[in-house]
Amino acid sequence: MRHYLTLVIFFLSAFVLSANGQNVTIVNHFKGDTTGRGLEGFRLSGSEQHSIIINYYEPAEKSDLDRLSELVGASLNFYIDQSVEISNGKIRLKRPQKEMIKEMNEIVQSAIKYYNFTEKENFNGFSKEIENKIGGLERLDFDSSPFATQASDAGSKKRLQYYFVQKELNDLKLMANLEVGNYSNTSLLVYAGSDAASIDAATRDSLLKLLEYDPGATLDPIQINYSQATKSMLSATDHSTLGALTTSANPHDFNEKVIQMLEQNNNRLETMQSQIDDLRAEQLRQFQAQQDKTNAQVQSQLDDLRAMIVELVKMNSGSAIASTGPEIFIDPNRGKGTVLNVPNLIDIYFPKGGTQLNTESKLALNEVVDILARNTSLNVVITGYADKTGSAVTNLLISQERAREVKKFMTASGLEASRFVTRYLGDSSSVSENANDRKVVLEFVTR
């Protein structure tokens, strides 16, 4: 995408070439006037026809900058490693400090030329901080560093000396790479394309006149024709007056008035805050009353639904769930004790070959979940069964899956898995293909 960065075309770099008898003017289009010369000094040479070529540049792509950073980073890191010697935790420079800076600058400039970038601003070299960092390498003292206190013997001291030196070298590499990255992100452009146009002598003269415009020149007067009424109004005498501004003769009186106004404002704010607090309290009270009413209604509906499920259990319809065996009594002093009578056994029935819970089974299991939640002293033994449909191995697997499905539903409701014991007996208790043997039996046991 071409970036048209300014409305006015800056003739930043121009030179004249001979092509087909015409003068060719090439204009490099950058963001702003990077030459610092302004519009002065750039003129189209005299010719009847001109071909103007405008080169457009845009910021380099991230992938190009990443490749440049990778190349420069690897080169700088290698150069730094090859320019120092390490002995007994101390660093000695193989080259003078000034020479190292010069050669590091050349590495960066060579990489920029290699990738054919256009520099909006030249790379002026590494900063003073980099020079100081290089100069400080030879003054490093391991014995005065925090690493020295961690050395317990000669071997650990040698290792720590190595880590200490590498840390300082890595800091230098990081600083150098950051400066190169900041420069490349803001100053490197790539060629995006060109536009060419031919202009005649008249257009050329207009451009030259525009370039020769003097912003400090006196403007030509503009003739304005006023109506007679406007002229009369402008020439009339101004009789308007501004009332005298009265001020307190005593600055102390003025200060007193300011203090009084502030106190009045504070009183108003305190009154408003009190009213807001009262309103919030009333809203909270109304909300709590409404919430209590809603909770009571929901609890009543839950109680009615629970009663309906219990009746379904006792009816033993045979379609989904049945209650068998005597009911057990839960001591109200154990657990939460909110349910006093619990069926000893509950049967959950499945369709032929099925292992998924239907809606009726889930409603029944929700009642079981409620019973277990209210009575923490209860555990459940879950036993899966199957009828004589299919082979014994298949029936065993079906009974296992049915038992797992029931346990999965119970634990997903928030009950601990440790409260359930799962068994599966296949068709061992069945004598034929019948619906009564396609079930899972839940047996309540007390701890």
Task: Say whether both 381 and 405 belong to one domain.
Answer: yes
Per-residue model confidence (pLDDT) at position 355: 93
**Domain for residue 440, yes or no?**
yes
**Domain for residue 242, yes or no?**
no
Mutual angle of helices 154-187 and 97-114, in 10-degree steps:
50
Quote the CA–CA distance of 436 and 347 in Å, as a whole number: 9
- Here the tokens at position 54 are 């405008």
Quote the CA–CA distance of 423 and 325 in Å, as a whole number: 19
pLDDT 10s digits, 159-210: 877 787 788 888 888 888 888 888 878 777 776 676 666 666 677 677 767 6
**Domain for residue 199, yes or no?**
yes
Task: Say whether both 308 and 441 belong to one domain.
Answer: yes
Task: Say whether both 108 and 207 belong to one domain.
Answer: no
Per-residue model confidence (pLDDT) at position 336: 45
Task: Say whether both 54 and 176 belong to one domain.
Answer: no
Long-range CB contacts for residues 114-119, cutoff 8 Å, separation at least 24: 114/71, 115/64, 115/67, 115/68, 116/190, 117/60, 117/64, 117/68, 117/184, 117/188, 117/189, 117/190, 118/57, 118/188, 118/189, 118/190, 118/191, 119/187, 119/188, 119/189
- Which of 147, 179, 211 corresponds to the end of one domain? 211
C-beta atoms surrounding 56 within 10 Å = 18
Task: Say whether both 382 and 370 belong to one domain.
Answer: yes
pLDDT 10s digits, 12-50: 333 333 334 445 656 555 555 555 555 555 554 554 555
- Here the tokens at position 276 are 């807001």
Residue type (1 letter), 285: R
**Domain for residue 251, yes or no?**
no
- Here the tokens at position 447 are 């701890």
- Here the tokens at position 139 are 């003054």
Q: Which residues of 311-321 are buried (b: 16+ CB within 10 A; e: fewer)?
A: ebbeeeeeebb
| Three-point CA angle 336, 341, 343, nearest 5° | 115
**Domain for residue 231, yes or no?**
no
Closest CA to 341 of 302, 303, 375: 375
CATH number at residue 360: 3.30.1330.60
Phi, psi of 31 (to 5 degrees): -80, 110
Per-residue model confidence (pLDDT) at position 443: 93
Task: Say whether both 381 and 326 belong to one domain.
Answer: yes
How far from 57 is each of 2, 9, 181, 189, 294, CA to CA, in Å?
Answer: 7, 13, 20, 6, 69
Task: Say whether both 201 and 349 belong to one domain.
Answer: no
Q: How is residue 39 annotated by DSSP?
A: T
Task: Say whether both 387 and 435 belong to one domain.
Answer: yes
**Domain for residue 225, yes or no?**
no
Residue type (1 letter), 287: F
Per-residue model confidence (pLDDT) at position 154: 79
Residue pair 439/324 in contact (Cβ under 8 Å)? The answer is no
**Residue 202: half-sphere exposure toward Cβ, Cα within 13 Å:** 0
Per-residue model confidence (pLDDT) at position 356: 94
Task: Say whether both 44 and 114 belong to one domain.
Answer: no
- Which of 211, 245, 268 corresponds to the end of one domain? 211
What are the residues whose beta carbons fall under 8 Å from the beta carbon of 47, sequence distance 6 or more? Answer: 22, 23, 204
Per-residue model confidence (pLDDT) at position 307: 60
Q: What is the pTM of this model?
A: 0.35
Q: How is residue 57 annotated by DSSP?
A: E
Q: How is residue 425 annotated by DSSP?
A: -
Sheet holding 188-199, edge to edge: 16-19, 22-29, 50-59, 188-199, 118-119
Tally of domains in the chain: 3
Per-residue model confidence (pLDDT) at position 29: 56
- Here the tokens at position 205 are 């003269």
In total, the chain counts a number of residues equal to 447
Per-residue model confidence (pLDDT) at position 24: 60
| Residue numbers of the domain that contains 420 | 303-446
Mutual angle of helices 154-187 and 128-135, in 10-degree steps:
160
Residue type (1 letter), 161: Q
Task: Say whether both 32 and 90 belong to one domain.
Answer: no
Residue pair 312/321 in contact (Cβ under 8 Å)? The answer is yes
Per-residue model confidence (pLDDT) at position 13: 33
Q: Is 104 helix (H, G, I), strand (E, B) or coil?
A: helix
Long-range CB contacts for residues 197-202, cutoff 8 Å, separation at least 24: 197/51, 197/52, 198/22, 198/49, 198/50, 198/51, 198/52, 199/49, 199/50, 199/52, 200/48, 200/49, 201/48, 201/49
How far from 26 is each of 2, 189, 202, 281, 390, CA to CA, in Å?
Answer: 17, 18, 20, 77, 90
Quote the CA–CA distance of 299 and 301 in Å, as a whole number: 5
What are the residues whose beta carbons fall under 8 Å from the beta carbon of 327, sequence distance 6 or more? Answer: 341, 342, 343, 344
C-beta atoms surrounding 410 within 10 Å = 22
Per-residue model confidence (pLDDT) at position 318: 42
Per-residue model confidence (pLDDT) at position 358: 92
Per-residue model confidence (pLDDT) at position 8: 33
- Which of 157, 176, 211 corresponds to the end of one domain? 211
C-beta atoms surrounding 347 within 10 Å = 21
Spans of the chain below 50 pLDDT: 1-22, 44, 47, 316-322, 332, 334-338
Task: Say whether both 421 and 331 belong to one domain.
Answer: yes
Per-residue model confidence (pLDDT) at position 75: 87
Rg for the chain, CA atoms, rounded:
46
Kind of pairing between the strands at 188-199 and 50-59: antiparallel
Task: Say whether both 421 and 326 belong to one domain.
Answer: yes
Per-residue model confidence (pLDDT) at position 32: 54
**Domain for residue 42, yes or no?**
yes
**Domain for residue 230, yes or no?**
no
